[in-house]
Amino acid sequence: MDGIIPVYKERGMTSTDCVFKCRKIFKMRRIGHSGTLDPNVDGVLPICVGKATKVVNYLMDSGKIYIGEITLGFATTTEDLDGEVVEEKQLSQPFTTEEINDKMGELTGDLIQIPPMYSAIKVKGRRLYDYARAGDAVERPKRNIHIDYFKQTKKPIFDHEKGYQKIFFEVGCGKGTYIRTLAVDLGKKLGVPAVMSDLSRLSSGGFTIGQAVKLEDLKKAAENGVLDSKLYPTDYALTKFFHVELNEKQWLTVKNGGFLFPSEVGVEENKIVLMFEDKARCIYRYNEEKKRYQPEQMIDLN
């Protein structure tokens, strides 16, 4: 069984938990996810099954959409509500919608982001959260990210008693973006500590929240023998690339890892998906120096 399923990850479980449960449901080990969601975040988590695991990176390259809440007035060790408060500064008055919009606008486009200490990024073979838990100092790597848009979804709320202000937002972004850090950076732009206080992922890998399937529904589908009906084809992850249907002679060449020339495929694209018998078989990339297409990722050669 091969394909992609947009799982609805509930809060309280890790992305690895979802993979583990899917392995039990599908009764196979070759399963992986395309982009971690923190335990306190819910939403769309594309899961690749069987040969579709070979396109995980292409799914991760797709944009993501989140909605959530940022609280101004305090900061935590983890940049969300799971951590300990490390800074607090009560607001004497709320920021205006215009002030917030202006600073949000400064956090769009191509940016450099420093990921949170409590994250799974590896530095010198160790996860950052391992350094954080051990109290060890380490320089965090800077990352290039892209924010398509960052906007408010409704009017902010000001808590006069606590001196906190809640901002409700939606963000469209590229891979590698930490929304927790984006929340903290917005606070820095406004001159106050901030924390991401709520988050849900609405879209990932081309899948929307409306397509997402709960694990309990997957389990029922397995019990009823209709599990395959929940899978999207592997090609769903590759729709942005130009597709070429191969003839039998070309297919024989491709199966053996051979090269193809632009005149043979009739296109001049950077990457192409090669199809045979209505299945995505592999991804070829164009070698500018040698003026030919060569294998980048083999998917299904059977």
Per-residue confidence (pLDDT) for residue 187, from 0 to 100: 96
Per-residue confidence (pLDDT) for residue 140, from 0 to 100: 74
Closest CA to 241 of 205, 278, 274: 274
Per-residue confidence (pLDDT) for residue 176, from 0 to 100: 87
Per-residue confidence (pLDDT) for residue 106, from 0 to 100: 97
DSSP state of 230: G
Per-residue confidence (pLDDT) for residue 2, from 0 to 100: 92
Per-residue confidence (pLDDT) for residue 136, from 0 to 100: 76
Q: Which residues are catalytic?
A: 38
Per-residue confidence (pLDDT) for residue 117, from 0 to 100: 66
| H-helix or E-strand spanning residue 171 | strand 164-173
Give the C-alpha separation, 8 to 23, whole Å.
16
pLDDT averaged per 10 residues in sequence order, the chain, 302 residues: 94 94 94 89 96 90 94 94 92 96 97 77 75 76 92 97 97 93 96 97 94 96 94 92 93 92 89 93 94 93 85
Per-residue confidence (pLDDT) for residue 199, from 0 to 100: 98
* Bridge partner residues of 285 (DSSP): 271, 294
Per-residue confidence (pLDDT) for residue 120, from 0 to 100: 66
User: DSSP per residue over 240-274, as a string?
Assistant: TSEEEE--HHHHHHHHTT--B-HHHHT---SEEEE
* Bridge partner residues of 157 (DSSP): 166
Task: To the nearest 10°, report the CA torsion of 224, 228, 232, 237.
Answer: 130
CA distances (Å), origin 190, targets 111, 133, 137: 17, 29, 28
Q: In the block, which residue shows the tokens 């579709």?
A: 52
What domains lie within the chain, and their CATH numbers? Answer: 3-62+205-235 (3.30.2350.10), 64-78+97-200 (3.30.2350.10), 241-298 (2.30.130.10)
